[in-house]
Amino acid sequence: MSPVRTFNVLTLATILLLAGCFGLGDSAEAAEGDHDHTPNAAPVISLDLSAGLAIECGTITCEGSIYHAVVDPDGDVISSGWDTDLDGTIDVPVTSNRGYTDISIAFSDWEERGFTTIAFIAVDSNGAATAELITVFTDDYFYDDDDGGLDIFQFDDRDAAAEQTAAGGEDLIHVKMMQGSSLSWALLRVSIVVDGGTTNLCVELADADADGLKCTYVYVDDKNWDVSDEITISEGANADLCDGVAGFCEVEVTLTMKAVGDSDDRVIGMLTATAQ
């Protein structure tokens, strides 16, 4: 081999050796090696019951606001929200990384003893996902019964079948207790809103002052409201809350258990009924 050719071969070998030593090899391999040492991190979620949980139940859904906070350690864009039926998909998306979200949970998804579990799901723009479960309770609708458990009230309504005219004192609707513990009539408060108007407090008919009263109710003649018992809600003697011009009136009913001792008033039922 000539001296010139020998020099060229040695020079090329030296260049290749130096390229390998200083990491100047295949760029794809280098990138792959870097990724192995910096994996994509999933979002981190925090849910706090003490941050203001407020769930209230009607006869169809339970609704309220729940607080969340979520962050992605890599700073990736996050898609997140609440999975209320635990099927692995987001039912109520959120747009903020922290704050309160109004949610609605089907009444059928709640356990009989007054709780249910939902999830908060977060997925970053690189596909890393995480979820956090939270079990929620509703204090307004449940209270300790004689067995130390929680009891839930359910009510049903029906039209009182009275003709609605411009006169006062007409029956509007019946409300029946479908589930719940015995409730003393002395602890019951009934109020209604007719066709989106003002709230009217209803007074038990036997105690009513007929002149200015807007709403009354009557009940079975015993001490407590029990399952299958009905109350009948009516206009006051001189109050025309539903004139029948439209053929029907929408009656929003709120049933409240009055405070006892150190406890607060508790809403035990909210219904929207039709008087026609």
Q: In which band, very low, low, confident or very high, does the pLDDT at 129 lie, cut at 50, 70 and 90?
A: very high
Nearest to 260 by CA among 184, 178, 200: 184
Which segment, 107-111, 224-228, 260-264, is predicted with the most confidence on average?
224-228
Query: For domain 153-275, is the CATH number 2.40.160?
Result: no
Per-residue pLDDT of 132-157, as tens digits, reads 988 777 654 444 444 444 457 888 99
DSSP of the chain, one letter per residue? --HHHHHHHHHHHHHHHHHHHTT-S-HHHHHHHHHHHSPPPPPEEEE-GGGT-EEEE-SSEEEEEEEEEEE-TT---EEEEEESS-SSS-SEEESSSEEEEEEEEEGGGS-TTSEEEEEEEEEETTS-EEEEEEEEE-TTTEEE-TTSSEEE-EEEEEE--PPP-SSSS-EEEEEEEEE---EEGGGEEEEEEETT--EEEEEEGGG--TTT--EEEEE-SSSEE-TT-EEEEEE-TT--S---TTS-EEEEEEEEEPP-TTPPPEEEEEEEEEE-
Q: Which segments of the chain does DSSP mark as H helices, in order?
A: 3-21, 27-37
User: For the chain, what are the domain ranges?
Assistant: 7-37, 44-143, 153-275
Higher pLDDT, 105 or 139: 105
The reported pLDDT for the residue numbered 7 is: 57
Average pLDDT over residues 217-221: 86
Average pLDDT over residues 16-27: 51
Average pLDDT over residues 218-225: 86
The reported pLDDT for the residue numbered 144 is: 44
Domains 44-143 and 153-275 share a fold: yes
Q: In which band, very low, low, confident or very high, does the pLDDT at 11 lie, cut at 50, 70 and 90?
A: low
Per-residue pLDDT of 116-126, as tens digits, reads 788 999 999 99
Instruction: State the CATH architecture for 44-143.
Output: Sandwich (2.60)
Mean confidence (pLDDT) of the chain: 78
- Give this prediction's pTM: 0.50
Per-residue pLDDT of 178-198, as tens digits, reads 888 888 898 899 999 999 889
